[in-house]
Amino acid sequence: MNARISVIIPTYCEAHNLPHLISKIVDSVTESQLRGNEIEIIVVDDNSPDGTGKLGQSLAGEHPEMKVIIRTDERGLGTAVLKGITASTGDVLVVMDADLTHDPALIPQLVDQLASNGADIALGSRFVNGFEMESSLHHIWGSKALNTFIRVLLQIPAKDVTGGFFALRRDALGDLDVNSIFRGYGDYFFALLYRGSKRGWKMKEVACEYRARREGLSKTSFFKAGFSYGVRALKLRVNLE
């Protein structure tokens, strides 16, 4: 696919993971069928106290394709992703976590789904070709139950609607109300899929193993997130947002 690709990475306290992640992203592009495509990497950091943003700026000196935005007046995963989208110039948007739970080696396959299969969005999915997730059993099955509840409630034609690792055609966003979608935490992702499905988006899923975090601490409380995700899904279903 001959396109400019923007990889958007929201960060908060990921200084231990960021250098390795950037290196793996660059390798995944230069060593694949995407070699020769223009790429930019946009890190949106929420003024991390561990210096993730400043480390990113230092890494940008070694990687001219990298841009770092440090936000001091706003917080949140959804708005950070939107900030990255707004600052990006790519025809294809790739969004992924910074904690290495998402494997950069999958980026070429996700982008290829947009070209070879005409998809509007391609998702890294834990729920196709087996169940791949490194975590405790209660977290695994809790995640699966929550995901099933949301996708059935909202009738989204995808098996994994809470993963948050995807490639998207920029033009697919069209006139969607992105400010109402990209807010909150990971719930922005199923809100995006729900609004996209209403527009007739073609969705493709690529089998993806979600790996356990190697460094640092998770910012997610499963039970707190599960409750807020459920509430937002219900609001979407009854057109309260």
Span 97-149, pLDDT tens digits: 999 999 999 999 999 999 888 999 999 998 888 656 666 666 677 778 889 99
Quote the domain boundaries for residue 183.
5-237
Please compute, for residue 99, the number of CA atoms within 13 A of its CA located in the half-sphere on the CB side. 15
* Count of the separate structural domains present in the chain: 1
Q: CA 179 to CA 31: how far, in whole Å?
A: 36
Q: How far is CA 222 from the centre of its chain?
A: 18
The model's pTM is 0.91
Arithmetic mean of pLDDT, 62-77: 95
Token code pair at residue 171: 């033009």
- Residue 123 bridge partners (DSSP): 166, 205
Q: What is the CATH number for 132? A: 3.90.550.10
